[in-house]
């Protein structure tokens, strides 16, 4: 009696059971993280560092961005699969067995990607924030609001509301620091800032130093890498990228030099389990301003200048006379507070396949959707919330 068909059927059934169990595992992990901050915090504290100290150590040794290669391969495999399926239909299903085999391969690959994204990204969105872990004592301060008008314009965080006056004090402090430090950092004959030394390693060391004050930031750090397709990322106005599937901190090689250090520290913060963008902005700021390197200090203050200045300007109803009565941003600081130089923008636009406005719009929509799907209701606006963290951080020091 031939049992070949029976064995084949049993094999297919076992394959489906294994896949269903794997898919259920992904769902359960995500459900647990959504339902329990305690579970997410435990995972970030005890399990996530395992991947950082093993897998990330391995990818860190490779000189180019593994994440970019993975993205290219994913697109290529998907396109090949679709093309193969179309050819099979045209040829009246002559490649039915091969297509089925490819489908299984693609399905299992997709499941692995789901696990990697869950373990290296999705769970992190449901843990405690940087402020909850390290600024909790300041968050417990009693609410102090000077007037009803101030209450309407206040930055509210936890149990503490901050007035327009306090926001103005913070803004003027940041501006003064930028103005002072701009005068002492080196600029070339054309007025562009420059750095003598290894800026990537200096930024990495700044994070290691910050880890002495915040335990979750201590330990091993990956080596940041420049993005190979920085022109495309520039069209999206992206300074850096944390690739969850390779656990790499990648940075834009075309952006103006003052963005480099804060961006490196921002992306390295993600590799330490701080996935919220405002947290990463704050950590990047703290790492830079607490560095012994004056250039990094300048870059740190500069990294939050636009956020603080914008919130202040809106809080005063965009009143020009009030705005001009405060500390003026120097021309040198304004020149250094850019994303790309004019020359680099020309390079980007010259090589662009799709218009920058279109690429940015699609990118912003995808990013906003991704953040909201992971429970971040503010979406892209979360980047701006670093102002609130700064107000909390300087509470009791500046006001």
pLDDT computed for residue 159 by the predictor: 47
Q: Is the pLDDT of residue 121 over 90?
A: yes
Strand partners, 155: 162
Q: For the chain, what are the domain ranges?
A: 4-126, 130-393
Looking at the predicted structure, is the pLDDT value of residue 156 above 60? Answer: no
Cα-flanking dihedrals φ and ψ of residue 90, to 5°?
A: -65, -40
Q: Dihedral, CA atoms, 352, 357, 361, 364, nearest 10 degrees?
A: 70
Query: Which position has the token pair 């459900």?
Result: 31
Residues in Cβ contact with 166 at an 8 Å cutoff, skipping those fewer than 6 apart: 391, 398, 399
Q: Quick one: average pLDDT of 359-364?
A: 66
Least confident residue range of 86-100, 126-140, 228-242: 86-100
Q: What local confidence, expressed as pLDDT, does residue 154 receive? A: 42
E strand or H helix at 59, and its extent? helix 55-60
Give yes or no for residue 381 having a pLDDT over 90: no
Per-residue pLDDT at 144: 36
What distance in Å separates the CA atoms of residue 356 and residue 348, rounded to the nearest whole number? 9
Q: How far is CA 187 from CA 68, 184, 200, in A?
A: 33, 9, 19
Cα separation, 147 vs 329, whole angstroms: 29
What percent of the chain has pLDDT above 70? Answer: 85
- Residue 355: pLDDT band (50, 70, 90) is confident
Q: How many Cα atoms within 13 Å fall on the side-chain side of residue 17?
A: 6
Output the pLDDT for position 152.
34
Measured distance CA(105)–CA(114) in Å, rounded: 14
* Mean confidence (pLDDT) of the chain: 87
Output the pLDDT for position 324. 96
Residue 176 pLDDT exceeds 60: yes
Across 29-38, average pLDDT: 97
Q: For position 9, what pLDDT does the model report? A: 55
Q: Which residue has the higher pLDDT, 65 or 356?
A: 65
Most confident of 7-11, 201-205, 356-360: 201-205
Residue 298 banded pLDDT, cuts 50, 70, 90: very high
Crossing angle between the packed helical segments 260-271 and 199-210, to the nearest 10 degrees: 50
Task: Name the maximum alpha-carbon separation found in the chain.
Answer: 95
pLDDT in tens, 211-221: 999 999 999 99
Kindly state the tokens that stand for 55: 């897998």
Judge whether residue 32 has pLDDT over 80.
Answer: yes
pLDDT at 2: 52
pLDDT tens per residue across span 42-94: 999 999 999 999 999 999 999 999 999 999 999 898 888 888 778 777 876 67
384: confidence class by pLDDT, cuts 50, 70, 90: confident
pLDDT given for residue 374 in this prediction: 65
Residues 295, 301: contact at Cβ < 8 Å?
A: no
Give the residue with greater pLDDT, 63 vs 137.
63
Q: How confident is the model at residue 200 (pLDDT cuts 50, 70, 90)?
A: very high
Q: What is the pLDDT of residue 31?
A: 97
């Amino acid at each position: 009696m031939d049992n070949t068909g029976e064995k084949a059927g049993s094999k297919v059934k076992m394959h489906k059971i294994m896949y269903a169990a794997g898919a259920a595992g992904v769902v359960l992990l995500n459900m647990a993280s959504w339902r329990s901050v305690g579970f997410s915090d435990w995972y970030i504290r005890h399990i996530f560092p395992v991947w950082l100290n093993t897998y990330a150590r391995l990818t860190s040794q490779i000189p180019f961005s593994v994440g970019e290669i993975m993205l290219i391969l994913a697109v290529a495999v998907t396109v090949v699969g679709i093309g193969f399926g179309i050819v099979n239909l045209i040829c009246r299903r002559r490649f039915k067995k091969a297509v089925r085999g490819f489908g299984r391969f693609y399905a299992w690959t997709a499941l692995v990607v789901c696990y990697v994204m869950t373990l290296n990204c999705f769970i992190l969105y449901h843990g405690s924030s940087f402020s909850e872990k390290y600024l909790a004592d300041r968050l417990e301060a009693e609410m102090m609001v000077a007037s009803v008008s101030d209450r309407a314009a206040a930055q509210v965080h936890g149990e503490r509301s901050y007035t327009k006056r306090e926001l103005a004090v913070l803004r003027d402090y940041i501006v003064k620091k930028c103005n002072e430090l701009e005068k002492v950092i080196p600029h070339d004959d054309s007025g562009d800032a420059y750095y003598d030394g290894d800026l990537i390693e200096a930024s990495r060391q700044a994070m290691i130093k910050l880890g002495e004050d915040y335990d979750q930031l201590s330990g091993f750090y990956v080596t940041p890498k420049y993005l190979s397709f920085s022109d495309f990322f520039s069209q999206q106005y992206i300074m850096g990228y944390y690739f969850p599937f390779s656990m790499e901190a990648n940075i834009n090689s075309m952006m103006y030099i003052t963005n480099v250090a804060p961006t490196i520290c921002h992306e390295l913060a993600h590799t330490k389990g701080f996935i919220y963008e405002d947290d990463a902005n704050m950590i990047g700021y703290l790492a830079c301003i607490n560095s012994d390197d004056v250039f990094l200090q300048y870059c740190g203050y500069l990294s939050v200048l636009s956020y603080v200045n914008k919130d202040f300007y809106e809080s005063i109803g965009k009143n020009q006379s009030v705005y001009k009565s405060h500390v003026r941003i120097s021309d040198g600081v304004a020149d250094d507070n850019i994303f790309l130089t004019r020359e680099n923008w020309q390079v980007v636009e010259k090589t662009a396949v799709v218009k920058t406005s279109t690429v940015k719009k699609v990118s912003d929509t995808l990013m906003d959707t991704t953040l909201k799907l992971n429970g971040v209701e503010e979406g892209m606006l979360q980047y701006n919330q670093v102002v609130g963290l700064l107000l909390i951080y300087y509470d009791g020091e500046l006001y």
